Structure 1
Amino acid sequence: MEQLASWIAPIATTIAACMTAANVGTRVTGWGFVVFTIGSLAWTGYGATTGQPNLVWQNLFLIAVNLVGVWRWLGRRARLDEGARTAAEASERQQAPTLFPVSALTGTPLLSRTGETVGATVDAMARCRDGHIEYLVVGTGGVGGLGETLHALPWSSVSVEPDRIMTETRIDRLEPLDPSRWPARLGRGPDLEAGI
């Protein structure tokens, strides 16, 4: 048991950390917490068989935290995502404006009209008065957010469909944003107006 737990615990913890840190979606994050729970159970077993009560108590607490993560991401968040998807699909079939979940504005690939991925949406800035989205913040380059360059893409340059976000604007022609100082409003340069 001790030998098995000594292998399972660090492997499960490492895999779970990669799954949750990647932030690639609700389901992957939720399953990351499931794997974290397995790791915490293994650490608890290892601590019990090697006489390390602090390790046991720490991981019993982490099991509770991880179970909250499982509920939050595979239970609550998955239900919310399903509700948003259902509303978007229903709006396509009815005589009503087509809807999309605003939560899709973060972490979704941004596509060119030819279907090529040109960046990933990081966030969106909206006006308090009427909820109109002023611009998307788009990340390009880098790996997992490290080394990425941020750009502000005017909402008028974006086309949204229920399952994708597209633009004709050349992201590489937009001025890079300072990650800690986003603009209050965007200027409209000739490249943006022309949609090139």
Structure 2
Amino acid sequence: MDVYVGYIASAATMLAAMMTAANLGSRVTGWGFVVFVIGSIAWSTVGFLTDQTSLMVTNAFLLLVNLFGVWRWLGRQARYEDGSAKASRRSRRTTSGATLFSGGTLIGHKVHDREGVAIGTLIDLMVSCEGKQIVYAVIAEGGMAGAGERLRAVHPALLQITDDAVLCRLRFAEFCAIPEIDPEQWPEQVPEQPDQ
């Protein structure tokens, strides 16, 4: 029996690790922690059945950590994302104020050029403390799974940002002409908006 439970534990742990590492949003990450809970229970059972106290104790502790992960991602974070999404939807239906979007939900979005071609992924938005305006957006292009990607700082006037899309006014070739930035040395500012 411990062999079958071990297979379940291994499969659950590997699946949960892929789900959480993929960073596909709070709900996928939260369900990854649910699968981690199943893995922790299964590993604790293997420890009990095979008289491995250290395996049982370690996974009992990991069970508590994983339950916290479930609360954090399926409870707290999901509620925050739902709240920001509702505010965004309500702001589009009214004309009394600005249309809102959650900046946090934009991180990780694909960026498309003016012809609809995907040119990269939005990594971050740098905001001025004084003016409370976006100074530049960092867009990653190329590479695979984060390795070998090139970062470019793009002036916000070149971007059209909505709650579910990031569009760049440049063509892909024009975007690639923007100088790369060092991943560890981001600029304090970007050059003035180029004429487009």
Code of the aligned partner of 2:50: T
Residues 1:108 and 2:109 are matched in the alignment:
yes
Partner Cα distance (1:83, 1:153) in 2: 29
8 A Cα contact 1:105 1:124, kept in partner: no
TM-score with structure 2 setting the length? 0.93
**Match in the other structure for 1:38:** 38
Larger mean CA deviation between 101-110 and 61-70 belongs to 101-110
Identity %: 41
Partner Cα distance (1:74, 1:116) in 2: 33
Partner Cα distance (1:65, 1:171) in 2: 43
Structure-to-structure mapping, 1:156-175, within 5 angstroms? 156-169=157-170, 170-175=174-179
Code of the aligned partner of 1:27: R
8 A Cα contact 1:29 1:73, kept in partner: yes
Larger mean CA deviation between 50-59 and 142-151 belongs to 142-151
**Match in the other structure for 2:71:** 71
8 A Cα contact 2:155 2:191, kept in partner: no
Residues 1:121 and 2:113 are matched in the alignment:
no
TM-score with structure 1 setting the length? 0.93
The alpha-carbon deviation at position 154 of structure 1 amounts to 1.0
User: Relative to structure 1, is the Cα distance of residues 179 and 28 closer, same or farther in structure 2, using a 3 angstrom cutoff?
Assistant: same
Gaps of 5+ in 1: none
8 A Cα contact 2:106 2:164, kept in partner: no
8 A Cα contact 1:20 1:33, kept in partner: yes
**Match in the other structure for 1:181:** 185
Partner Cα distance (1:133, 1:89) in 2: 22
**Match in the other structure for 2:84:** 84
Residues 1:149 and 2:150 are matched in the alignment:
yes
8 A Cα contact 1:100 1:161, kept in partner: yes
The alpha-carbon deviation at position 144 of structure 1 amounts to 2.1
Code of the aligned partner of 2:146: G
Q: Which runs of 4+ in 1 moved over 4 A?
A: none
Partner Cα distance (1:101, 1:70) in 2: 23
The alpha-carbon deviation at position 107 of structure 1 amounts to 1.0
The alpha-carbon deviation at position 67 of structure 1 amounts to 0.7
Query: Per the alignment, in what secondary structure is the counterpart of residue 55 of structure 2?
Result: helix
Residues 1:132 and 2:136 are matched in the alignment:
no
Larger mean CA deviation between 6-15 and 51-60 belongs to 6-15
Code of the aligned partner of 1:73: W
